[in-house]
Amino acid sequence: MSSWCGLVFKICVYKLVVFSGELSTKMMVQKDERVKVMAEILRGIRVIKLHVWEDHFVDRIGSKYGTALLALLGSFKHFWKYLYCLGGPQWHSG
């Protein structure tokens, strides 16, 4: 019996490690997009100021942060569904 518990525990830990890696990869992709936009802004700051494009670039940066936040929240939604499938009914049987 204890060997089965150990096996189930190892599978759960493995799934959590895989989830963590996928989340990290998604967040790094989003961070790369934000860094590219910021680098573009820093290279062209004089042109941006000259043509009064600040609002446009603020919106672009905000959309990149919004996309990263949605990816993070979506990943956590799947994580909680996974945890509930593992043992949710036992937590609520009180």
Q: What gap in Å lies between CA 7 and CA 1, rounded to an integer?
A: 10
| Per-residue pLDDT at 64 | 77
Contact 77, 32 (CB under 8 A): no
| Per-residue pLDDT at 94 | 45
| Per-residue pLDDT at 12 | 82
| Per-residue pLDDT at 10 | 86
pLDDT for 25 beyond 80: yes
| Per-residue pLDDT at 71 | 73
Q: Which of 21, 30, 35, 22 is nearest to 70 (CA)?
A: 30
Give me the residue spans of the domains in the chain.
2-83
Contact 67, 33 (CB under 8 A): yes
| Per-residue pLDDT at 22 | 81
Give residues with Cβ within 8 angstroms of 68, minimum separation 6. 27, 30, 31, 33, 34
Contact 26, 71 (CB under 8 A): yes
**pLDDT, tens digit (0-9, with 9 covering 90-100), for 41-93:** 888 887 777 777 778 877 887 787 777 777 777 776 666 666 666 655 554 44
